Amino acid sequence: IEKSDEVVDKEMLIKHKEKLYFELKNILARQPGPEVAEQLSVYQASLQEREKQMEQMGAELTLYQTQVSEYKQEISRINKELKEVKRKYFEQKKREQAMQETRRAERQPAIDSFVQESRATLQRFTGGGFNLNQPAS
């Protein structure tokens, strides 16, 4: 009887050990293998490379943004200069036009008197070519 009890106990112990063995075997089967570890290291290396690229691109982006702002400032400065040059040009044109008007106004009485004198001394003809200054005979 003792031996049969020992055998039963041993069988139960064996079954319990087999159960634990199968559970551990299933757990190990679910664990990733060395291939997964290699893939993980490759992914980490590529991730670090991409992060470096992103940092470089971010630095380039800030550089380009500062260049764009500098160019915008330069454009606004040049536009202001252009407006100032246009304003000076039109002021100069106004002054020249005013001077021409005053010269013309000064010369106008002399021209008018010359035109009146020349009209008086010139022979005028109408459509038929008859002199209007001579009396009709």
| Cα angle 115-116-118, degrees, rounded to a multiple of 5 | 65
Whether residue 6 has pLDDT greater than 90: no
Amino acid at 26: N
- The C-alpha atoms of residue 32 and residue 78 are separated, in whole angstroms, by 66
- The C-alpha atoms of residue 17 and residue 106 are separated, in whole angstroms, by 130
CA atoms within 13 A on the CB side of 41: 4
* Segment 59-79, tens digit of pLDDT: 999 999 999 999 999 999 999
- The C-alpha atoms of residue 53 and residue 59 are separated, in whole angstroms, by 10
Extract the tokens encoding 81.
Answer: 């200069």
Extract the tokens encoding 45.
Answer: 């290396």
- Average confidence score pLDDT of the chain: 86
Q: What is the mean pLDDT of residues 42-48?
A: 96
Helix (H, G, I), strand (E, B) or coil at 3: helix
- The C-alpha atoms of residue 34 and residue 17 are separated, in whole angstroms, by 28
Question: How confident is the model at residue 116, as a pLDDT?
Answer: 72
